[in-house]
């Protein structure tokens, strides 16, 4: 096949063999086959193959083949959806992989858990919050400013209000 004309002609071989082409296209194919030896050889090979196929014995089946086939199709269609999923080997492999992953994750969590009830730190964390016994005013006043003694910035606590260099912050308690 050398060009687009050869491609077009080769695509028409089946219709040409069946005599289902118009007389103009048939004449065009005849003219092309006389001048193009590759297309002519391809057409001859196609004819030989078709002759060999026609010489094959016909294929026959049992008389109950169709009824058996329809019975098997009906049986497959009546299986529950979940059974079809479970019967699939891919589902079993995926289920096993998910189970293995969960076991590994659970084992890693138990083995590497930084806060567990068995450790002293974990017992402290699980026993509830520890409330500070100091008075809020003592906690704030005991904190020293990073610029202590420089006079540039000082903190004062007056009745639940913190004053610092022209700004003030009102402290509100969440308990009654």
Let me know if 122 is exposed, middle or buried by CB neighbors in 10 A (0-12, 13-18, 19+).
middle
Single out the residue of 166, 168, 149, 148 nearest to residue 157, CA to CA. 168
Lowest mean pLDDT among 26-35, 51-60, 124-133: 124-133
Report the alpha-carbon distance of residue 9 to residue 29 in Å, rounded. Answer: 6
Span 130-142, average pLDDT: 48
Question: What mean pLDDT is predicted for residues 82-89?
Answer: 71
Rounded distance between C-alpha atoms, residue 153 and residue 167, angstroms = 11
- Does 102 have pLDDT greater than 90? yes
Mean pLDDT, to the nearest integer, of 6-28? 91
Residue 163 main-chain phi, psi, to 5 deg: -110, 135
The pLDDT of 56-63, averaged and rounded, is: 85
**Mean pLDDT lowest for which of 112-116, 124-128, 149-153, 162-166?**
124-128
Residue 144: what pLDDT? Answer: 46
pLDDT at residue 28 is higher than 90:
yes
Domain extents for the chain?
4-55, 80-114
Count of Cβ atoms closer than 10 Å to residue 155 Cβ: 14
Q: What is the pLDDT of residues 71-81, one digit of tens each?
A: 988 887 787 77
Model-level pTM? 0.36
Lowest mean pLDDT among 12-21, 69-78, 80-89, 167-176: 167-176
């Amino acid at each position: 096949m050398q060009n687009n004309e050869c491609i077009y002609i080769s695509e028409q071989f089946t219709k040409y063999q069946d005599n289902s082409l118009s007389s103009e296209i048939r004449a065009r194919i005849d003219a092309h086959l006389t001048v193009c030896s590759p297309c002519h050889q391809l057409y001859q090979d196609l004819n030989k193959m078709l002759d060999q196929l026609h010489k094959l014995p016909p294929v026959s089946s049992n008389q109950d083949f169709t009824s058996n086939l329809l019975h098997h199709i009906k049986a497959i269609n009546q299986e529950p959806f979940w059974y079809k999923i479970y019967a699939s080997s891919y589902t079993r492999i995926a289920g096993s992989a998910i189970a293995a992953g969960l076991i590994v994750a659970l084992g890693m969590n138990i083995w590497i858990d930084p806060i567990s009830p068995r450790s002293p730190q974990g017992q402290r964390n699980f026993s509830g919050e520890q409330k500070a016994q100091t008075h809020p005013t003592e906690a704030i006043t005991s904190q020293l400013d990073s610029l202590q003694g420089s006079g540039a910035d000082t903190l004062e606590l007056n009745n639940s209000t913190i004053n610092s260099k022209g700004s003030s912050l009102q402290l509100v308690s969440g308990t009654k």
